Chain A
Amino acid sequence: MFHIYCPHCCEYREEEEFHAAGQSHIARPLDPDACTDKEWGEFMYFRANPRGIHHELWVHAAGCRKYFNITRDTQTYEIKEVYKVGEKPTVVANAIQSK
Chain B
Amino acid sequence: MQHYSGFGLLKHSFSHHENWQRVWRNPTPKKKYDVIIVGGGGHGLATAYYLAKEFGVTNVAVIEKGFLGGGNTARNTTIVRSNYLWDEAAHLYEHAMKLWEGLSQDLNYNVMFSQRGCLNLGHTLQDMRDIERRVNANRLNGIDGEVLDAKQVQEIVPVLDCSDRARYPVMGASWQPRAGVARHDAVAWGFARGADAHGVDLIQQTEVEDLIIEDGTVVGVRTARYGEIRADKVGCVVAGNSSVLAKMGGFELPLESHPLQALVSEPIKPILDTVVMSNQVHGYASQSDKGDLVIGAGIDGYNGYGQRGSYSTIEHTIQAIVEMFPVFSRVRMNRQWGGIVDTCPDACPIISETPVKNLYFNCGWGTGGFKATPGSGHVFAASLAKGEMHPLAKPFSMFRFHNGALVDEHGAAGVAH
Instruction: Report the minimum CB–CB distance from B39 to chain A (whole Å).
Output: 15
Asked if B310 and A44 make an inter-chain contact with CB atoms under 8 angstroms apart, the answer reads: no
Which of A13-21, A25-33, A84-92 is near enough to bind chain B? A13-21
Say yes or no: is B386 at the interface (Cβ < 8 Å to chain A). no
Asked if B402 and A38 make an inter-chain contact with CB atoms under 8 angstroms apart, the answer reads: yes
Residues of B within 8 A of A42 (CB): 252, 401-402
Q: 8 Å CB contacts to B: which residues of A1-56?
A: 1-2, 14-16, 19-20, 22, 37-38, 41-42, 44-51, 54, 56
Given the complex of chains A and B, what is the CA–CA distance between A1 and B302 in angstroms? 12
Q: 8 Å CB contacts to B: which residues of A59-80?
A: 72, 74-77
With contacts A41-B404, A75-B305 taken as known, whether A51 is within 8 angstroms of B244 at the C-beta atoms is yes
Asked if B301 and A75 make an inter-chain contact with CB atoms under 8 angstroms apart, the answer reads: no
Asked if A1 and B310 make an inter-chain contact with CB atoms under 8 angstroms apart, the answer reads: yes
- Quick one: CB contact mask for B112-125 with A, threshold 8 Å, 1 for yes? 00000000000000
Residues of B within 8 A of A72 (CB): 302
Say yes or no: is B262 at the interface (Cβ < 8 Å to chain A). no
Say yes or no: is B311 at the interface (Cβ < 8 Å to chain A). yes
The one of B257, B345, B401, B404 that contacts A74, using a Cβ cutoff of 8 Å? B257
Beyond A41-B402, A46-B254, A56-B302, 10 additional contacts (C-beta under 8 Å) are A1-B311, A20-B302, A38-B402, A41-B404, A45-B345, A46-B253, A49-B253, A49-B255, A51-B244, A54-B303
Given the complex of chains A and B, what is the CA–CA distance between A36 and B304 in angstroms? 31
Interchain pairs with CB closer than 8 A, number: 66
Which of B244, B301, B302 has the largest count of A CB atoms less than 10 A from its CB?
B302
Secondary structure of the A side of the interface? Answer: mixed
Q: How many residues of B contact A (CB 8 A)?
A: 24
Asked if A20 and B305 make an inter-chain contact with CB atoms under 8 angstroms apart, the answer reads: no
With contacts A49-B243, A74-B257 taken as known, whether A19 is within 8 angstroms of B303 at the C-beta atoms is no
Instruction: Report the minimum CB–CB distance from B261 to chain A (whole Å).
Output: 12
- Quick one: CB contact mask for B290-306 with A, threshold 8 Å, 1 for yes? 00000000000111111
Instruction: Report the minimum CB–CB distance from A62 to chain B (whole Å).
Output: 12
Which of B257, B305, B310 has the largest count of A CB atoms less than 10 A from its CB?
B305
When C-beta atoms are compared, the residue in chain B nearest to A15 turns out to be: B310
Instruction: Report the minimum CB–CB distance from B314 to chain A (whole Å).
Output: 11
Residues of A within 8 A of B196 (CB): none
Instruction: Report the minimum CB–CB distance from A6 to chain B (whole Å).
Output: 16
The one of B243, B254, B301, B311 that contacts A45, using a Cβ cutoff of 8 Å? B254
When C-beta atoms are compared, the residue in chain A nearest to B255 turns out to be: A49
Asked if B401 and A45 make an inter-chain contact with CB atoms under 8 angstroms apart, the answer reads: yes
Given the complex of chains A and B, what is the CA–CA distance between A45 and B364 in angstroms? 13
Say yes or no: is B312 at the interface (Cβ < 8 Å to chain A). yes
Give the size category of A's interface with B.
20 to 34
Say yes or no: is B403 at the interface (Cβ < 8 Å to chain A). yes
The one of A16, A44, A50, A76 that contacts B243, using a Cβ cutoff of 8 Å? A50
Given the complex of chains A and B, what is the CA–CA distance between A46 and B301 in angstroms? 17
Given the complex of chains A and B, what is the CA–CA distance between A16 and B403 in angstroms? 37
Instruction: Report the minimum CB–CB distance from A15 to chain B (whole Å).
Output: 6
Secondary structure of the B side of the interface? Answer: loop
Top-3 shortest CB links A-B: A49-B243, A20-B302, A41-B402
Say yes or no: is B256 at the interface (Cβ < 8 Å to chain A). yes
Asked if B302 and A46 make an inter-chain contact with CB atoms under 8 angstroms apart, the answer reads: no
A-B contact pairs, 18 of them (CB 8 A): A2-B310, A20-B301, A22-B256, A37-B402, A38-B402, A41-B403, A42-B402, A46-B401, A49-B252, A49-B253, A49-B255, A49-B256, A49-B257, A72-B302, A74-B257, A75-B305, A75-B306, A76-B306
Residues of A within 8 A of B304 (CB): 74, 77
Residues of A within 8 A of B254 (CB): 45-47
Which of B255, B303, B403, B404 has the largest count of A CB atoms less than 10 A from its CB?
B303
Asked if B312 and A46 make an inter-chain contact with CB atoms under 8 angstroms apart, the answer reads: no
Given the complex of chains A and B, what is the CA–CA distance between A54 and B256 in angstroms? 12
Instruction: Report the minimum CB–CB distance from A76 to chain B (whole Å).
Output: 7
With contacts A1-B310, A15-B310, A16-B312 taken as known, whether A49 is within 8 angstroms of B401 at the C-beta atoms is no
Say yes or no: is B108 at the interface (Cβ < 8 Å to chain A). no
Asked if B310 and A47 make an inter-chain contact with CB atoms under 8 angstroms apart, the answer reads: no
Instruction: Report the minimum CB–CB distance from B198 to chain A (whole Å).
Output: 33
Asked if B311 and A37 make an inter-chain contact with CB atoms under 8 angstroms apart, the answer reads: no
Given the complex of chains A and B, what is the CA–CA distance between A26 and B198 in angstroms? 48
Say yes or no: is B136 at the interface (Cβ < 8 Å to chain A). no
Given the complex of chains A and B, what is the CA–CA distance between A42 and B312 in angstroms? 32
Given the complex of chains A and B, what is the CA–CA distance between A80 and B73 in angstroms? 32
